[in-house]
A and B are shown apart, each in its own frame.
Chain A
Amino acid sequence: MVVDVQGQALSVLSKLAQADWPDRLKVRKSFEKLVYSGSRASFRLAAGRAASKPREACPAAGDLFDLSLTDEQQMLVDMLQGFALDVLRPAAHEADAQARVPAALINQAHELSLAHYGVGEAQGGLAGERTVLSNALIAESLAQGDFSLAAALLVPLSAANCIRRWGTAEQQAAWLPAFVAEERAPVFALAVNEPGVLADPAQPATRARKRGKHYLLDGEKTLVIAGLEASRLVVSAQAGDGPALFVVDAASKGVSRRAEPCMGLKACGLARIQLKGVKVPSDCRLAGKGFDFKAFLDLGALAFCALAVGTGQAALGFVMTYCNERQAFGEPISHRQGVAFMVADIAIELDAMRLLTWRACARAEAGLPFRREAYLARLLCAEKAMKIGSDAVQLLGGHGFTQEPPVERWYRDLRSVAVLAGGLHL
């Protein structure tokens, strides 16, 4: 197994070695270190596995509050921020206009092998014991380039996380290897949101009725990210014994899909999906030990919190530069408190969003209850992210209302944070 893990990491490295853009972005060094340390970490874990249980969850008293990232996390952040700013940001305008992820970008993203972070070592991935915060950092970093593109690129990682966390060993063995294969990862879209006003994702209106060795699924899902191109759908539905998740072949009889254009998230290929008596084999119900539907929803909500933090950071950077350069009444507009205080508030609330999100993620990955923390993070991020989006447009005046600067796109995208209950998964 050790050989497998290392082999996998090496194959990521060799893929990167053939790609040309890491040089252009001057990030190859951190790539190599990252992949190296990834494989090293895997070694350590694999070696330690025989002897001991996972590392102690409770750190020393002095470490109870610690905001420093591990070296590996820091490298991940540096690398993905470079990718976000140099690749995603310039591609975002066109992706929004064309309402799809450009093909070239899909290939580049494949080279990043993000899905490896969602696949356990047994299947050849890099996901160790603690992954939630690293996943959040991935989302945050990518979203500094563009919210919608980041969400689209996170679909394979989200699906892998979902199967790894909530599937049985057999289900993992069946589905996960494809996510770390040489070819592009298959598209499994998470279909969680429902169109009813005041819908509660914890009580899906979609029904799953047991019929012998099958379930029959009926219902409607909305705002499904990558819903049209998906080969499989991970559908939440109410079964006789509570809410459950089903991996549904998107080509099944009774599944109908249509594009669902929205205010923002254009590049995500949002889809409305109808399920009419869709027959799903019983063994396609995710049934891993400790299946926890609420935690599934919370980890989805936290993915959008992390994206909101990233895009909020992008907005702060953008208005900072703009307000210092733009002149009015004989001086930069940033010399006026009415302007400067709005910028200060963006900085304050952004940091608050980040800390609440990180905290919920840190508790989740330490195996502590995180319901409350996720709830509060989502609440705060939903409210403050929209305020940041709105203030960013305001600070650019009429120019903010046009599509030339990216702020109106962020405004449209950030509206989704309060609305989306699922579709991604940390």
Chain B
Amino acid sequence: MAALLGVMELCWGDVGLLLAMPRQGLGNAAIAAVANDEQLTRFGRTWAAMAITEPGCGSDSAAIRTTAVKDGDHYILNGEKIFVTSGERADSVVVWASLDKRLGRAAIKSFVVEKGTPGMTVTRLEKKLGIKASDTASISFSDCRVPAANLLGNAEIDVQKGFAGVMETFDNTRPLVAGMAVGVARAALERASELLSKAGCRFDYAKPLLSVSHAEATLYRLEAEWEAARLLTLKAAWMADNKLPNSKEASIAKAKAGRVASEVTLKCVELAGALGYGEDELLEKWARDSKILDIFEGTQQIQLLIVARRVLGKSSGELK
């Protein structure tokens, strides 16, 4: 909860800057979740990025093609990772790779690869829609030797347990991404209401929705949606803090906050008209920055899938 509140406030300032801050990323969350004690002491203070996504797969993270082959007390990594947040600036990268592609998701393990390890090439992605303060990198691995002790958690391939362990990290990180969405959306709401107030709108919650101006009604609607996203996000974090299973709620928060942030920031540009569209205001920037929050850490659709499976009691084989 404390982390979440911090993230909300920082993203009221800037999402890209928060993502560029050391040691707050998904890589550190993964280390915290799966590392053994020895690894925790070694990697506890490192700043780790996370590399799951590949050119050929993103949402379907079980389909990764990067491989890790044991060779003495090293693993040899080969493959291509893209869209690694802070991939260039971080001290190391947590890389998902398969020990044996025939065994599917159970064989996927994560490796801490330190920056500058021979065989690892990092290329920064320069042009994107938003969060430009955050570096996004491609990393290719070509016979990259990583100490076997850097394999996080258990090296055995446990076909029964499979994927669940790695996926659990997301129950903690999704509310944080939802919190980013809540933060940036609030910035837009506040600025839009400031500009509209100068244009004569009154936001005093006094008149029925049908009797206020369309601009006022629109902002009220956005505010209600935003409040919904905020409370759902707080709920997911509160459950995590109280050790209640929160997989469904984490996805509910991420789904709702992700789509609300896009709707709110885009509508606020519209509400402010030409002023909102111009670069003199930050409204257009927030509308660009917010979009990624409905994409990474599981897209809107992926969150809906998770929620639907939980609500309907379906497996990933039944509801694809």
Contact = CB atoms under 8 A, between A and B. Distances in A.
Interface of A: 65-67, 198, 200-202, 294, 316, 320, 323-324, 331-332, 334-335, 337, 340-341, 343-345, 347-349, 351-353, 355-356, 359, 371-373, 375-377, 379-380, 383, 421
B270 interface: no
B228 A355 contact: yes
Contacts of B313: 324
Given A324-B312, A380-B224, A348 B256 contact: yes
Contact of B319 (A334, A349, A377, A421): A334
Contact of A65 (B1, B229, B301): B1
A14 to B, nearest CB: 39
Interface stretch (B53-61, B70-78, B97-105, B202-210): B202-210
B261 to A, nearest CB: 14
A351 B1 contact: no
Interface string B288-320: 000000000000010011011101111000111
Contact of B238 (A67, A343, A348, A380): A67
Interface string B180-203: 000000000000000000000000
Contacts, number: 110
A86 B158 CA distance: 46
Given A294-B206, A341-B305, A351-B235, 13 more contacts: A200-B208, A202-B206, A320-B312, A323-B312, A340-B314, A341-B308, A343-B311, A347-B307, A351-B232, A355-B228, A355-B235, A379-B209, A380-B227
Interface string B204-240: 0111111100000000110111011101101100100
Contact of A352 (B210, B256, B312, B319): B256
B205 A351 contact: no
Contact of B318 (A198, A202, A335, A371): A335
B238 A352 contact: no
A373 B223 CA distance: 10
Contacts of B49: none
Nearest to B217: A379
B308 A352 contact: no
Contacts of B228: 349, 352-353, 355-356, 380
5 cross-chain pairs, A with B, having the tightest CB-CB distances, nearest first: A352-B228, A340-B308, A355-B231, A375-B205, A344-B308
Contacts of A352: 228-229, 231-232, 256
Nearest to A360: B227
A292 to B, nearest CB: 13
Contacts of A323: 312
Given A380-B225, A380-B228, A200 B308 contact: no
A40 to B, nearest CB: 27
A379 B206 contact: no
Interface string B240-259: 00000000010010011000
Given A198-B210, A202-B206, A351-B252, A343 B223 contact: no
A347 to B, nearest CB: 5
A67 B227 contact: no
Given A335-B314, A347-B252, A359 B231 contact: yes
A252 B273 CA distance: 56
Nearest to A341: B304
B312 A376 contact: no
A46 to B, nearest CB: 33
A200 B208 CA distance: 6
Q: Which of the four size classes fits the interface of chain B?
A: 35 or more
Given A337-B305, A348-B255, A343 B312 contact: yes
B308 A356 contact: no
A355 B232 contact: yes
B201 to A, nearest CB: 15
Nearest to B239: A67
A421 B309 CA distance: 37
A210 to B, nearest CB: 26
Contacts of A353: 228
A6 to B, nearest CB: 35
27 contacts: A202-B207, A316-B311, A334-B308, A335-B319, A337-B304, A337-B305, A337-B308, A344-B308, A345-B304, A347-B307, A347-B311, A348-B232, A348-B252, A348-B256, A351-B232, A351-B235, A352-B231, A352-B232, A352-B256, A359-B231, A373-B227, A376-B220, A379-B209, A379-B224, A380-B225, A383-B224, A421-B208
A371 B221 CA distance: 15
Contacts of A320: 311-312
Nearest to B303: A344
Contacts of A341: 301, 304-305, 308
Interface string B114-146: 000000000000000000000000000000000
Contacts of B210: 198
Contacts of A67: 235, 238
Nearest to A421: B208
Contacts of B309: 340
A129 B151 CA distance: 57
Nearest to A352: B228
Contacts of A198: 208, 210-211
Nearest to A64: B1
A159 B217 CA distance: 32
A200 B207 contact: yes
A322 B207 CA distance: 40
A334 B308 CA distance: 9
A376 B224 contact: yes
Contacts of B314: 334-335, 340
A202 B305 CA distance: 43
A298 to B, nearest CB: 9
B256 A344 contact: no
Nearest to B256: A348
Interface string B248-288: 01001001100000000000000000000000000000000
Given A324-B313, A352-B231, A355-B232, A340 B221 contact: no
A344 B311 contact: yes
Contacts of B308: 334, 337, 340-341, 343-344
Contacts of B234: 65
